[in-house]
Amino acid sequence: MTEHPRVEIAGSSVSVDHFINGVRVASEATFEDRSPLDWNWLLADISRGDATTADLAVTAAVDAFPAWAALSSVERGKYLKRLADLIDEHQEKIALVECADMAMLEESLRLRVIARGARNFRAYAELAEVFEGRHWESNGTDNRIQRMPAGPTVVITPWNAPFMLSTWKTAPALAAGNTVILKPAEWSPLSCSMLADLIAEAGFPPGVFNIVQGIGEEIGAALVADPRVRRVSFTGSPETGRIIGEAVARNLTPFTAELGGKGPLMVFADADLDGAAKAAANMYDDSGQVCLAGTRIMVEASIKDVFLEKMRTITQAHVLGDSRDATTTISPMIHPVHLATVEGFVERARANGDEIIFGGKRWKEDGLWYEPTLIAPKSNDSEVVQREIFGPVLTFQTFETEDEAIALANSTAYGLSGIIWTSSQERAERVGTALRAGTVWVNCFLVRDLTAPFGGFGISGIGREGGDYALDFYSDLKTLQIKEHTTEAGA
């Protein structure tokens, strides 16, 4: 069918359709996309892709693959760098649309988050260029390690930070020589639709980078089940990760998964308590919808009262409000369904006998805000300690010794991140090494070097993103072993 009309959002004209083989493609069926800033604000009716759309997109990626794979890293890098420049140019517009779509604070989007999209493409253009394969001699042969582009790649992303996470995953896939079908989450599809306009403007060959819209269980499931797809890269919940894992297993398609988190934020008595309390209160940023957040606050028993008072005071200074307002520090949650899920966790905690230290209710009835909430669990087995809530709800526990702190920190099935506050370098190294987590920050948070590995232990994920780790995943690694021809060769 012909394209749907574009919609005007926050001063930008945004397509509601898929982007396949270099052109917009519409689906007859649509789904509603509403703004968490005001649930009565219907942003757009978005094309709802199905199995036929998935087939079209995979076919485009299959057809485009040989020519894209045949380009050198430097040639592919030129497209990625052009796209990065265009993202920089349109950063402000993308930020405003993403703010309307998923309600992260406009200022963070404008100043940090969207710009990271450009950095992702630039970083991977450069990393792929410098890889020319290790080679060495042994057993009288020359061993050459080559990275061969793996093939059409499906990337599926969640609704929190949709632009940043989608670019973080697609950049290495494209840089490695793969063609891509990206499916963003149905709760925040708009910034990725804007990315499609920039892909067209950057002049990517048709079919190299496709973006489709729709519901996970429909088009998402069709994409990951297609045997022509040679890599699947997923970020989302462990529950969906398991479903996708089963689907890709049937085709033996290599799969990475960046899943949920339940990170500890550990504060030792020797720490800068003001800095640590501020860090703890900042875990309510983005309404706690951050996979890496340290959501289990655990403090040394001797500083319990003083720390709690500091954290309470800083938390009270948070301003709940419209994410477009520069004074707001806590945005609404993404969706009424997700708000109800978070409420359910707190209600069950109450019924379980866990102590609500502060918060524990909606901010007001007519919006999607939930008050910053702190819960002292009855025991470490409480559901609020053991399961990811993905909202502004933290738990508060104490420990007496370093060993007890480590045992508590490592006591969930997750292992995405850990945060330690201490002034002791020896303790930082000891505890940091003992934590079962993909990334551990000491006296800081969210500081990232894009070349470092990123991923989760346990149910927080499979595989690693970042630097060469991602380029290896998106490649078929080959060993080419050449023995120089002599008259005795093969003798």
Which DSSP letter does residue 362 get? Answer: B
For the bound state, the minimum distance from the C-beta of residue 265 to ligand NAD, rounded and expressed in Å, comes to 16
**Could you say which of 71, 145, 200, 243 contacts ligand NAD (CB under 6 A)?**
243
**Could you say which of 60, 103, 150, 156 contacts ligand NAD (CB under 6 A)?**
156
CB closer to ligand NAD, 181 vs 346: 181
For the bound state, the minimum distance from the C-beta of residue 119 to ligand NAD, rounded and expressed in Å, comes to 16
Assess 212 for contact with ligand NAD (CB under 6 A). no
Assess 224 for contact with ligand NAD (CB under 6 A). yes
Nearest to 371 by CA among 328, 318, 416: 318
For the bound state, the minimum distance from the C-beta of residue 221 to ligand NAD, rounded and expressed in Å, comes to 4
Nearest to 408 by CA among 268, 298, 316: 298
Question: Is 258 annotated in the active site?
Answer: yes
Assess 101 for contact with ligand NAD (CB under 6 A). no
Assess 462 for contact with ligand NAD (CB under 6 A). no
Task: For residues 456 and 437, give the distance between their C-alpha atoms in angstroms, rounded to a whole number.
Answer: 6
For the bound state, the minimum distance from the C-beta of residue 258 to ligand NAD, rounded and expressed in Å, comes to 3
Assess 51 for contact with ligand NAD (CB under 6 A). no
**Could you say which of 237, 251, 341, 386 contacts ligand NAD (CB under 6 A)?**
237
Residues contacting residue 445 through CB under 8 Å, at least 6 positions apart: 279, 282, 292, 294, 419
**Could you say which of 259, 277, 330, 409 contacts ligand NAD (CB under 6 A)?**
259
Q: For 407-422, give the DSSP string.
A: HHHT-SS--SEEEEE-
- Cβ 358 vs Cβ 337: under 8 Å: no
Stretch that binds ligand NAD, among 156-164, 173-181, 277-285, 470-478 (CB under 6 A): 156-164
Residues contacting residue 178 through CB under 8 Å, at least 6 positions apart: 65, 68, 69, 149, 150, 151, 152, 153, 230, 231, 474
Assess 221 for contact with ligand NAD (CB under 6 A). yes
Which one is catalytic: 106, 291, 300, 465?
291
- Cβ 71 vs Cβ 129: under 8 Å: no
CB closer to ligand NAD, 77 vs 158: 158
CB closer to ligand NAD, 261 vs 321: 261
Task: Determine how many CB atoms are found less than 10 A away from the CB of residue 23.
Answer: 13
**Rounded alpha-carbon distances, angstroms, from residue 467 to 68, 169, 218, 401:** 21, 11, 32, 36
**Could you say which of 101, 106, 258, 371 contacts ligand NAD (CB under 6 A)?**
258
- Neighbouring C-alpha atoms within 13 Å toward the C-beta of 29: 12
Nearest to 180 by CA among 477, 188, 172, 334: 172
- State the binding string over 427-456 for ligand NAD (x if CB under 6 A, else -): -----------------------------x
Residues contacting residue 51 through CB under 8 Å, at least 6 positions apart: 218, 219, 222
For the bound state, the minimum distance from the C-beta of residue 122 to ligand NAD, rounded and expressed in Å, comes to 20
For the bound state, the minimum distance from the C-beta of residue 454 to ligand NAD, rounded and expressed in Å, comes to 7
CA 46 to chain centre: 22
* CA angle, 128 then 133 then 139, to 5°: 170
**Could you say which of 106, 342, 388, 475 contacts ligand NAD (CB under 6 A)?**
388
- State the binding string over 286-305 for ligand NAD (x if CB under 6 A, else -): -----x--------------
Assess 185 for contact with ligand NAD (CB under 6 A). yes
The residues facing 25 across adjacent strands are 18
Record the tokens describing residue 155, joined without a space.
């990337």
**What's the distance, Cα to Cα, between the start and end of the chain in Å?**
65
- Cβ 227 vs Cβ 383: under 8 Å: no
List, in sequence order, the alpha helices (H) in 109-161.
Answer: 114-130
- Cβ 168 vs Cβ 465: under 8 Å: yes
Assess 386 for contact with ligand NAD (CB under 6 A). no
Assess 261 for contact with ligand NAD (CB under 6 A). yes
Assess 172 for contact with ligand NAD (CB under 6 A). no
Question: Is 291 annotated in the active site?
Answer: yes
Q: How many residues bind ligand NAD (CB under 6 A)?
A: 30
Can you tell me whether residue 290 is helix, strand or coil? coil
The residues facing 479 across adjacent strands are 145
Which DSSP letter does residue 282 get? Answer: G
Assess 113 for contact with ligand NAD (CB under 6 A). no
Assess 384 for contact with ligand NAD (CB under 6 A). no
Helices 162-175 + 114-130 axis angle, to 10: 10
Assess 236 for contact with ligand NAD (CB under 6 A). yes
Assess 213 for contact with ligand NAD (CB under 6 A). no
In the complex, which residue's CB is closest to ligand NAD? Answer: 216
Assess 191 for contact with ligand NAD (CB under 6 A). no
Q: For 425-466, give the DSSP string.
A: HHHHHHHHHH--SSEEEES-SS---TTS-B--SGGGEES-BS
Assess 260 for contact with ligand NAD (CB under 6 A). yes
Record the tokens describing residue 176, joined without a space.
């490695």
**Could you say which of 32, 217, 347, 400 contacts ligand NAD (CB under 6 A)?**
217
Assess 220 for contact with ligand NAD (CB under 6 A). yes
Which one is catalytic: 106, 107, 258, 300?
258
- What is the binding site for ligand NAD (CB under 6 A)? 156-160, 165, 183, 185-186, 216-217, 220-221, 224, 235-237, 240, 243-244, 258-261, 291, 388, 390, 416, 456, 461
Report the catalytic residues.
Answer: 258, 291
